[in-house]
Structure 1
Amino acid sequence: MSHVSKFHLPTVKEQNGVQDSVHEKVISVSGEGMLHSPDFPHTYPRNSMLVWRLVAATNMRIQLTFDERFGLEDPEDGICKYDFVEIEDPNEKTLLGRWCGSQSAPAGHTSKGNQVIVRFTSDEYFPSEPGFCIHYSLLPEIISEHETPAVSSPSLQGIEELSEAVAGLGTVEEVMKYLEPERWQLDMEELYKPTWHVLGKSFIHNKKARGGADLNQLREEVRLYSCTPRNYSVSLREELRRTDAIFWPSCVLVKRCGGNCACCSNRCYDCQCLPARVTKKYHEVLLLKHRSGGRGLQKTMTDVPLEHHEECACVCKDDSD
């Protein structure tokens, strides 16, 4: 049985297959064992940063199970920012999840390769109890390879099936929970990290008509509602001609020319409402895309450029030819 001793200054090698390095403890897993926050099940210390790397034989997988006694500092706005424990799969170079709070213990995990990394972080404020404890054990590779989920993972769904499922969700949080139920909080935090993208200017402000005589008001109403920029919803996949990606929300509002041209010149038999001034505005949306090689979904906040019609005019088709 392997086990972890308390953290201290690095040494070359310890007993029981536990080796120290400057950045992490490497644990050679040959049976069952556990790792936990310092002083578990009591209050853990402040300002801690501990890393364990569990390594099994190449033909084995590592199964992790959280102790039911679990309690770290609560999240802020649903995101674990301060005190948390997280699990990384170094073979896939992805985080399996990050957890904090004290509502319930996280679900178990099985590594895809023969290694797994566990990190524990606490800041200088509000340590909690009891912390966490993770039990680990071994599984033969053949078992983990033949396990098949009861429901198809969203990351394995086709682009059209996934697009339809995501379009029916009401919030970004619901999208993240659907895609990655175990690590959606971490995905939310990653989405809203500052980026240096160009942001579009504010939308056009509606101009209010002046007061005046009734006839003037009638004419002004015709001008406002006949051939003017107005809100239209457009599908981002169709507008951008992107069949390889999914956007959420799938539709956004843009200003496009609309309305009739009944007051066009009597000599014109085919009068059309056309844009007289066009600008490009950027809309920040969530972009979902399959990674190359089938390695899950890439989730990013991105700016998409869309045309907005700021001024419209009635133009005789003969004049526009």
Structure 2
Amino acid sequence: MILPSALILTSLLLQHYGSRAESSHVSKFQLTAIKEQNGVQDSQLEKVLTVSGEGMVTSPNFPHTYPRNIELVWRLVAPSNMRIQLSFDQHFGLEEPEDGICKYDFVELEDLSEKSMVGRWCGAESVSISHVSKGSQVRIRFLSDEYFPSEPGFCIRYSLQPVSDSEADSPAEVPPSQQGLEELTDAVAGLGTVEEVLKYLEPERWQLDMEELYKPTWHVLGKSFILNRKARGTDLNLLREEVRLYSCTPRNFSVSLREELRRTDVIFWPSCLLVKRCGGNCACCSHRGYDCQCVPARVAKKYHEVLVLKHRPGIRGLQKSMTDVALEHHEECVCECSDDSD
């Protein structure tokens, strides 16, 4: 009675692990660890597809509702002398974005030869993009959270395209993120919003950068957030607005952050900030003297949160971060005059 049971158990184990080995060999799954901010913390499986002709990658159950809480990754590999052309099927539908950013259910495309994100898509509008890879490998990643799955999902068709002679001979255009600091400083200074800055630097992945900049993190909140929240109810500078226009009072001055902080190795955006500095004449001063100067009587250091762009040695692209900078503010001013007898 024991022998048949052992044989059955052995047969089942061989069948189970044999099927796993065969599946792993055919689909070439590679196991890597990943952690997502929206709660999907399972290991991700990267399925490697050798591109030898036409094919497609789809969300599960396409063109019907895809499952919840899944993550799928495909790496498309073509011969080194070929490029991969990708286009979306007109039937497309994923969970809607929030504030214009795909945060929950999305499909994204990454060009592995340049380690650059081509884009991320979600919502109900069809995707009209047709992309030809810069190298021989691309990665497609699909993620859905545990809420509001949509239909029909997505379908991306791929095919091969030979490398053209002009592409092989033409020099690579230097992207904005690889330009020199001075050139970038002039370009960024003329932009009006953070969105415009990121679109200029990374036109294909600016939404991802926006999400990274503003998403909550585990570290302690910056001083600018804490101090501004505490002082939000009272702004002493507003009480001084009725002071005579040309008297010795704190007033708004624009300062260049690179000059003020003596940092020439990074780019700040905004490049200038308003600070309170003593200004105006001393006509209202009652001191009977001459050579009067408006000087600060009380100085405070205040923190401002700005976008910092910095080159990373040996790494393509710019490091982008929100950083606190401390600037000197004059809160009270007095007229300092020389005595008549001097």
TM-score, normalization by structure 2: 0.75
1:192, distance to aligned residue in structure 2 (A):
0.5
Residue ranges of structure 1 left out of the alignment (5+ in a row):
1-8, 210-219
RMSD: 3.3
Superposed, 1:174-193 pairs within 5 Å as: 174-193=196-215
Give 5+ residue unaligned stretches, structure 2.
Answer: 1-17, 32-44
Shift of the 180–36 alpha-carbon distance from structure 1 to 2, 3 Å rule, reads same
Which one is further off, 77-86 or 253-262? 253-262
Aligned to 1:255: 276
Q: What do residues 144-166 of structure 1 show as CA deviations (whole Å, max 9, x unaligned)?
A: 555678x8643344434433333
SS in 2 for 1:296: strand
In the alignment, is residue 31 of structure 1 matched against residue 53 of structure 2? Answer: yes
1:176–1:266 distance in 2 versus 1, CA, 3 Å: closer
Deviation string 1:25-65 (CA, Å, 9 cap, x unpaired) is: 12122222211111222222222211112223344443322
* Alpha-carbon contact 2:250-2:278 (below 8 Å) kept: yes
Q: CA deviation at 1:289?
A: 3.0
| 1:215 match | none
- List per-residue Cα deviations over 1:246-288 (Å, max 9, x = no partner): 3222222111111212344655322211112222211111222
Q: 1:245 aligns with which of 262, 266, 290?
A: 266
The TM-score normalised by the length of structure 1 is 0.79
Shift of 1:128: 1.7
Identity level (%)? 68
Runs of 4+ in 1 over 6 A off after TM superposition: none
Aligned partner (choices 7, 11, 15) of residue 20 of structure 2:
11
Report the counterpart of residue 286 of structure 1 in structure 2: 307
What aligned pairs does 1:1-321 form with structure 2 within 5 A after superposition? 11-14=20-23, 18-22=27-31, 23-105=45-127, 107-140=129-162, 145-146=168-169, 153-195=175-217, 196=220, 198-200=222-224, 201-202=227-228, 204-206=235-237, 208=239, 221=243, 226-264=247-285, 268-293=289-314, 295-316=316-337
Give 1:32's aligned amino acid. Answer: E
Structure with the largest fraction of helix: 2
Q: Deviations over 1:90-116 (max 9, x none)?
A: 454443322111223052334444332
SS in 2 for 1:307: strand
Letter in 2 for 1:301: M
Q: Which residue identity is paired with 1:64?
A: L
In structure 2, C-alpha distance between the alignment counterparts of 1:225 and 1:52, rounded to whole Å: 67
Secondary structure (helix, strand or coil) at the match of 1:24 reads strand
2-structure distance, mates of 1:107, 1:227: 59
Note if contact 2:181-2:266 (Cα within 8 Å) is conserved in structure 1: yes
